[in-house]
Amino acid sequence: MNQDTEVCIIGAGFAGLVASLLCCQRQMRCIVIEKRSRDAGSVSNAHYLNAYTLEILVSVGLSIEALRAAAVDASIDKTMVVCHTLNRTLAKIDLHSDPTFSHRYAAAGRYGAFLNIRASRLHHLLLSLAESKGIEIRWSHGITALDSQQQRVKVQPAHGQAYWLRCNTVLACDGASSHTVQMANIEHRHRTFYRYFFTIECHGSIRSVVQDQAVMYWIYHERLLGCMINFDLDALQVIQIPVLTKEAINWSEKDIKQRFSAICGIPVDACQHRFRVCGHWRLETSLLSEASQGNWLFVCGDALHQVLPAGGLGLNLALADVFNLIWKLPRQQKASRAMLATYQTERIAVADRALQQSVDNYHRFIAMSETFLSGVGTGGLDGLLRSVPPSIRSSVVDAWLWLNRASHDLDLMPADAWSEVMQHNRGHFDGMAMHFSAPYLSSLVFEPSQRELYALDSMRHQLFVGYRLMNFQCVIDRQVVKLGDVLNYDRWTFVVGQTSRVFMRHYRSFSLPKQLLQVDFDLVLDLALDQCLPMQQGDCLLIRPDRYVAAFISMNDHERLERFGAFLRHITTA
């Protein structure tokens, strides 16, 4: 068994597996340490993958065809329903009905704006790929000590003696309540607790009982209050239920079947579903005070930040963390402090913004619940329950929800009463704002854009320095290509709107010490192309390995060219 490696990755979750695949791609030796057994699988309930995450997953070797095959059916994944019972829709968001959506969806990335894939299926795809590439994963092993001075970690197998593993770099990808973070004594800068939820898997078909097929159902029934994710109309739904009373956490399978039958509007004996309670969890946000220690230990994913699930930001943030980091790690040489320091500078700022965005999304959903519960949301119910004896709290909740359902059934509340709040939630459910709202501001970005971007419907299809690339097309070697298809994770890329001969004259004038930046191609700009790359002859675009726009300048702007030359000298020496 090897006792040394270049990179030690703690945790074989999403961030850990993607990090290992990126290391493999860069021919860096890595070992993954995972405390659980191989058959434990993923316990995550995440499912939303944004455009940038799809780019990352394809870049590590997953095919977009495999991802689409594992995804929720495309006919339902853009619809959200609010209801009391599944057979009567009170309100819904259907992105298919938006005439501008398909264009904006395509503009977000090469593979569209998002996919919904259940976490367990995605984890299986990543694990199979990692094992096919021979990546070493030491299952049922834990880390018991960190020694930054000797650059080693102490590994304890489930059976056998502990041993020291030497490594140039350690990645803490061991999730929320990370043991690695605790050993490193890194403090939480922000930590806020919200409420407890529990999760129920429902195995069976709802096709015959739903009025509208959708990926998400917000259910406000006196027998069951929760959010249901429909992964498969005929096979699997998962319900997240807020814990309002202590009785809820003790529901038996018989209780669940009765309540599920009620929201389906069918007799209990007609319900053929099987149910599994997957455990209780606490809704919280947190962010560490630092993302790295001594350019040796780097914290990624939920170990670094926990955001609220509203908006599906957590998994996407985790994969973006490792995609930001791995290309900055040196191969066979001493690490550059300046390069590695940008991981913390860039990712802490992005995580902070995403945390606030998730809280904003959460409050939008609370506002929706207040609208459907006659002005009393789940927070209001908490206050109401505190004012009554514990013995009748469950009955109070049921009675309040029944009154609201009755008022809707009798059409006492006009349909347009909640149109405004549904419109607010549409902006979140649209799903294309993620990762456009927080640019990178660091020494690896040349004069970044100061514009605040939130959603694609409020921005033009342009190049913004510091932001990730959108979906652009151009002509290279007489072929129409998507720019993302010709990028490489292992190098920076120049795209020039003029001949290489003219560009190289400028490039040589920068007097760079190393030729680390590769000039890949000349391009032809065709404005008739859909999603045409917005460049002109004489423009120069510099793209980082993680597909962020590092610089965008005109070679005719001599004043900026001088500053740009200094910037290139900085990044090539870093």
> Would the pTM of this model clear 0.85, i.e. be above it?
yes
Lowest-confidence pick of 119-133, 193-207, 212-226, 241-255: 241-255
DSSP 8-state symbol, 394: H
Structure token digits, residue 104 = 């904006």
Q: Which residue has the higher pLDDT, 150 or 529?
A: 150
Q: How far apart are CA 390 and CA 392, in angstroms?
A: 6
List, for residues 319-371, the tens digit of each pLDDT value.
Answer: 999 999 999 998 766 657 888 999 999 999 999 988 988 888 888 777 777 66
Q: Give, in order, the Cα–Cα distances in Å from 535 to each of 58, 185, 397.
A: 26, 48, 59
Residue 58: CB atoms within 10 A of its CB come to 18
Please report, rounded to a whole number, the percentage of residues in the chain having pLDDT higher than 70. 80
Length of the chain: 574
CA contacts within 13 A on the Cβ side of 401: 22
Q: Is the pLDDT of residue 379 over 60?
A: no
Residue-wise burial string across 332-346, b where 16 or more C-beta atoms lie within 10 A, e elsewhere = eeeebeebbbbbbeb
Element (H, E) at 203: strand 188-203
Please give the Cα distance from 29 to 36 (Å, whole number). Answer: 22
Query: Residue 435's pLDDT is what?
Result: 47
Q: Is the dihedral of CA 228, 232, 233, 237 positive or negative?
A: negative
- With both helix axes pointing from N to C terminus, report the angle between 313-325 and 337-372 in degrees, rounded to the nearest 10: 170
Q: Is 215 left (phi over 0), alpha (psi -120 to 50) or beta?
A: alpha
DSSP SS3 for 527: coil
Task: Answer with the residue of higher pLDDT: 291 or 492.
Answer: 291
Residue 560 CB contacts under 8 Å (≥ 6 apart), including other chains = 447, 553, 554
What is the structure's pLDDT at 202? Answer: 96
Average pLDDT on 193-214 reads: 93
